[in-house]
Structure 1
Amino acid sequence: MTTTAPATGPRTSDDATTSTPVPPIALGAMLFGTRHDDAESFDLLDAYVEAGGVWIDTADCYAFWADDSGRGGQSEPVLGRWLAARPGMRDRVRIATKVGCEPLWPGSFPERTTGLGADLVRSVARQSLDRMGIDRIDLFWAHRDDRSTPLPEVVDGFGGLVADGVVGAWGFSNTALWRAERAAGLARARGLAEPTGLQLRYSYLQPRPMVRDHEHDHRFGWITDEVLDYAEANPAVGLWAYSPLMSGAYERADRPVPEGFDHPGTARRLAVLAAVAADLGVSRSEVVLAWLAGGTPRVSPVAGVSSLAQLGTAMAGVRLVLPPEARERLDAAW
């Protein structure tokens, strides 16, 4: 029997059996089953849980771009095999997965992908449960908006799964804020569970206004000041940030900051970030994660790591409590 996730917002790591409380941080399982084989994936998963981690984030489409088939579905079965090999582990972790970005055929992304029709959402949920060998998805994400499906149908699909006990909570990724708020209103009117999560890109550096995520075709894939204000006014809504460390750009010279971040504010923020990290004797990545996890509103990172060393950095970062003056310096650079 699996334990249930809360009806609203992310579950914190200190709700599970750990010796040291850890702010919410999800382990991104995107490349499990493609770049990482079972042995590597199991090592990362074991170390994450041992360090106090609770949330594991995946999707039905992971990782179609990294597999010769051009289709997804490799990550969830790895999690299923790991859970099967670790009796009792399901009670210690929370599983988040997504629907809505699987290519309709190899090479069709981003133009043609599965959407968010109610029947498809229910079908993919059952598929994900079967792949992972579980009876409940703790948090089910709409991977990106689907304007071809009426929003009431989207709400009925996800809300119905919550009502049936198949899903603990649901939310939106890569979706305009007004759509999420409208969905919440529709859910209330229908007596269904409201979306209580937003997963978008976010980091200490911010892109220029109107820059879009062309690589993934996610027009509304960013946490903006409006999103932060919305979350602060709606404490039941949890914010999750993917790509918080910008693929290593804070630490590695061979991983340059993307062109969309080329503006005077970036240089100013990088200088302050480096100074704060040096003063505290930690890495810049740790400072970024501490800034996210300890801010108001709190933003929970989704850490896609490729090594135990990277995982150690991520867990140390969310545990790090920034001195007030350090946070003030970081915020003032904005």
Structure 2
Amino acid sequence: MRTRWLGDRDGRVEVSEFCLGTIPFGTRTDEDTAFALLDRFFEAGGTFIDTANSYDQWADSGVGGESEIVIGRWIRSRGVRDQVVVATKAGAHATKVPGDPAMENWEGLSGKAVRRAVQGSLERLGVDRIDLYYAHWDDREPELADTVGEFGALVKEGVVGAIGCSNTPVWRIERARELARAAGVAAYSCVQQLHTYLWPRPERTGFDVITPELIDYAKSEPEFTLLGYKPLLRGAYTRADRPFERGYDHPTSASRLEVLNQVAAETGATANQIVLAWMMQSDPVIIPVSAAGTVAQLDEQLGAVDLQLDQETMRRLNTAGTDET
């Protein structure tokens, strides 16, 4: 699997071009299945694993941190700590455990909360350093300088490598990076947002989505990387029992789906594989953060890694649903 460098001069990590999402590990996905998925991903050359301290507090039995615990056990049992890049996040873990994981109960991103969160993640993962650390959700309560300063301090101390943010609007990303530069500390070098081939309805295009504005921003900042989570919309592209959520169910989606399915038929690939390959070959590149419930599902997704889409195919995919079609 090809690799990419993520980060800047203050902290760089080499990651696989496909990132494995692990939200349900330890809750809806039992440990044996999680280990099988991690084994297969690693065997295929995957090195980039994504989790958060809040995963999966939304599951019936979840309290948060289960995914980190499972990943930590897998790393130790396989002896691969130096061969994988682990990304985790702070800010969305519920302070009521067990309890209601609604946003008003989240730990937030004050400097003190971030410091507590990173210590918890280090313990659950069983590591002494987190390769990539995210601010999980934009928190307007603390001063942004407080959050930025704590993330920068963690990099300086060697507790974390590269840092990034998630579910954050463009102007807040740029403001945070400006504050970091002024303070002489590491800045966010990536953002992870919701992204897929279909366009969301305008009312769904918010601070947690990769927008055209964010794409333009990334093009202007060569050391700033985009990552897209939930790229396959929970299986809606290929499963009749998984309808598209309302935010993606509109007339333009039909036009784009038609072209997507045409390309899939022409290449012999699945629609899921085309979506993932399209992301990895976009300008700028968008690293997919995608989960799988079975090894067979993961194998299908990994088929996108070696799928090359020519310029004309990318043009057709990109212009579907526009006046340029």
- 8 Å Cα contact 2:7/2:224 also seen in 1: no
* Counterpart for residue 297 of structure 2: 310
* Counterpart for residue 78 of structure 1: 70
Distance 1:164 1:311 in 2: 36
- The answer as to 2:31 corresponding to 1:41 is no
SS in 2 for 1:139: strand
Distance 1:259 1:283 in 2: 23
Distance 1:139 1:12 in 2: 10
Distance 2:267 2:278 in 1: 13
* Counterpart for residue 82 of structure 2: 91
- The answer as to 2:172 corresponding to 1:179 is yes
- 8 Å Cα contact 1:10/1:197 also seen in 2: no
SS in 1 for 2:20: strand
Q: Percent identity?
A: 46
Query: 1:300 pairs with 271, 287, 293, which one?
Result: 287
- 8 Å Cα contact 2:27/2:66 also seen in 1: yes
Q: How does 1:1-334 map to 2 (within 5 A)?
A: 7-8=7-8, 11-13=14-16, 24-68=17-61, 71-87=63-79, 89-105=80-96, 106-211=99-204, 219-334=206-321
RMSD between aligned residues:
1.4
CA deviation after TM superposition for structure 1 residue 315, in Å: 1.2
Amino acid across the alignment from 1:94? V
Greater than 2 Å deviation, 4+ residue runs: 5-13
CA deviation after TM superposition for structure 1 residue 310, in Å: 1.2
Amino acid across the alignment from 1:319? D
Q: 1:54-94 CA distances to partner (integer Å, 9 max, x unpaired)?
A: 100000010011142x521111111111111112x011100
SS in 2 for 1:227: helix
Unaligned runs of 5+ in 1: 14-23, 213-218
Amino acid across the alignment from 2:35? F
Residue correspondences, number: 312
Distance 2:171 2:227 in 1: 18
Amino acid across the alignment from 2:231? P
More strand per residue: 2
- 8 Å Cα contact 1:200/1:221 also seen in 2: yes
TM-score (norm 2): 0.93
Distance 1:39 1:263 in 2: 39
Q: 1:196-218 CA distances to partner (integer Å, 9 max, x unpaired)?
A: 01000000001111226xxxxxx
- 8 Å Cα contact 2:195/2:210 also seen in 1: yes
Distance 1:117 1:283 in 2: 43
Amino acid across the alignment from 1:96? A
Q: 1:221-250 CA distances to partner (integer Å, 9 max, x unpaired)?
A: 100000111111111111110000000000
Unaligned runs of 5+ in 2: none
